[in-house]
């Protein structure tokens, strides 16, 4: 990097089990000057002591990853900012030097500085199973399609571009990374950085892979439909990552039902499900991408015939409002008529079983 300093900002809340590893990785980096900032949201364990022991700058902030990372950025003095999660791991001692050089070269080729970079991810897993599903998520992080970039992949960008974007959204304790990622996509350009960033699979493993992925789909669908009422209510039931256990989905379905009745009304609900249908239709490519990933042993690396079929033929064919309405209606039946009763029954039975035990 021609800039003399890269500021690495790590938000923490009771991350004593993970923080030493990423701080050691950062201290081992070569060929680049680093300023390491730990933006802590009120840890009750020894996170702060560990940050000081590794020579990091400690910034105290109100809890909430968006608020913490904004506070860290305000304290940073580097010309470039890199936002990492505490459970991330670097896989090469030259990884940040190479990433910085790649981003600067991409800026030169593009003739502008409104670029941001993210790393492809590799899950660090403690439990076996779901190999294909994890491979799908890992391979999806290689690209730069909408709604596929999140904080687990690390965000690298110039400080002035970050300031121009207005920083992270602080309204909620989650979604801050997806919101900034999509603002970058509108106002600038994403590039995929060289190297692989390891990230912990702990949330998937603690909550259950499919339950976590289903909740992610619900959250992203309602967010992109502009249903703010859900997120005002959901902040009371969405736990921080380190406090998660087996995910209970019925509370979220219950929130949706309450929101439909009391916040949106009939026509507001129809409108919301229409835009949920649009979001699903816009992301239909992921099903075809999944088929390519599943066929990877036979297709070979880097080949996506099913995805190309969607992009060339099916995507344009279904790109009309009537399909959004149809998809939204089917989504309502599936989520509220099938999944909601199913999780009410299953999770009620589980609670009764625990009570008897």
Q: What is the pLDDT of residues 270-296, one digit of tens each?
A: 999 999 999 999 999 999 999 999 999
Q: Which domains does the chain have, with CATH numbers?
A: 6-200 (3.90.550.10), 204-356 (no CATH)
Residue 228 in this model has a pLDDT that exceeds 90? no
pLDDT interval class at 343 (50, 70, 90): very high
As a whole number of angstroms, the distance between CA 186 and CA 90 comes to: 29
Count of H-run helices and E-run strands, the chain: 18, 10
- Give the pLDDT confidence score for residue 243 in this predicted structure: 53
Which helix (DSSP H) or strand (DSSP E) does residue 317 occupy?
helix 315-317
As a whole number of angstroms, the distance between CA 218 and CA 128 comes to: 26
Residue 341 in this model has a pLDDT that exceeds 80? yes
- Give the pLDDT confidence score for residue 173 in this predicted structure: 75
**Residue in this structure with the two tokens 């909601």, named with its chain if needed:** 340
As a whole number of angstroms, the distance between CA 357 and CA 272 comes to: 41
- Give the pLDDT confidence score for residue 356 in this predicted structure: 52
Residue 35 in this model has a pLDDT that exceeds 70? yes
- Give the pLDDT confidence score for residue 174 in this predicted structure: 82
Mean pLDDT for the stretch of residues 146-150: 93
- Give the pLDDT confidence score for residue 4 in this predicted structure: 54
Q: Which residues pair with 58 in a beta bridge?
A: 38
Residue 348 in this model has a pLDDT that exceeds 90? no
Residue 354 in this model has a pLDDT that exceeds 90? no
Predicted TM-score (pTM) of the model is 0.92
Q: Chain-wide mean pLDDT for the chain?
A: 92
Mean pLDDT for the stretch of residues 251-263: 92
Cα separations in angstroms, 143 against 132, 136, 137, 319: 18, 12, 11, 22
**Residue in this structure with the two tokens 């998520």, named with its chain if needed:** 137
pLDDT interval class at 171 (50, 70, 90): confident
Share of the chain above pLDDT 70, in %: 94
- Give the pLDDT confidence score for residue 300 in this predicted structure: 94
pLDDT tens digit sequence for 48-90:
999 999 999 999 999 999 999 999 999 999 999 999 999 999 9
Alpha helices in 144-227 (DSSP H): 159-165, 176-187, 202-207, 209-224
pLDDT interval class at 233 (50, 70, 90): confident
pLDDT interval class at 134 (50, 70, 90): very high
- The answer to whether the CB of 4 falls within 8 A of the CB of 32 is no
* Residue among 150, 156, 147, 96 nearest 121 (CA): 150
- Give the pLDDT confidence score for residue 239 in this predicted structure: 59
Least confident of 153-162, 171-180, 292-301: 171-180
């Amino acid at each position: 990097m021609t800039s003399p300093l890269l500021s690495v900002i790590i938000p923490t809340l009771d991350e004593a089990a993970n923080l030493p590893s990423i701080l050691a990785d950062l201290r081992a980096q070569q060929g680049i000057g680093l300023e390491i900032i730990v933006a802590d949201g009120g840890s009750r364990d020894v996170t702060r002591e560990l940050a000081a022991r590794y020579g990091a700058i400690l910034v105290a902030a109100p809890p909430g990853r968006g608020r913490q990372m904004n506070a860290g950025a305000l304290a940073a003095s580097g010309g470039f900012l890199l936002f990492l999660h505490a459970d991330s791991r670097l896989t090469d001692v030259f990884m940040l030097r190479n990433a910085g050089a790649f981003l600067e070269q991409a800026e030169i080729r593009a003739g502008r500085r409104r670029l941001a970079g993210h790393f492809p991810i590799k899950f660090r897993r403690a439990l076996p199973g779901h190999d294909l599903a994890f491979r799908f998520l890992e391979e999806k992080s290689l690209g730069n399609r909408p709604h596929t970039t999140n904080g687990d992949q690390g965000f690298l960008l110039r400080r002035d571009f970050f300031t121009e974007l207005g920083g992270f959204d602080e309204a909620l304790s989650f979604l801050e990374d997806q919101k900034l990622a999509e603002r970058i996509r509108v106002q600038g350009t994403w590039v995929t950085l060289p190297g692989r960033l390891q990230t912990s699979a702990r949330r998937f493993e603690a909550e259950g892979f499919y339950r976590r992925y289903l909740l992610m789909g619900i959250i992203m669908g309602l967010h992109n439909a502009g249903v703010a009422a859900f997120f005002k209510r959901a902040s009371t039931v969405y736990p921080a990552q380190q406090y998660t256990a087996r995910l209970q989905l019925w509370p979220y379905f219950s929130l949706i039902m309450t929101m439909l009745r009391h916040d949106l009304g009939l026509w507001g609900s129809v409108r919301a499900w229409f835009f949920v249908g649009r979001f699903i239709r816009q992301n239909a490519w992921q099903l075809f991408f999944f088929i390519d990933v599943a066929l990877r042993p036979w297709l070979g690396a880097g080949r996506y015939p099913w995805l190309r079929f969607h992009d060339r033929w099916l995507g344009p064919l279904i790109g009309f409002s009537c399909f959004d309405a149809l998809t939204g209606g089917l989504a309502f039946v599936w989520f509220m008529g099938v999944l909601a009763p199913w999780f009410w029954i299953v999770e009620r039975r589980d609670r009764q079983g625990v009570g008897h035990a």
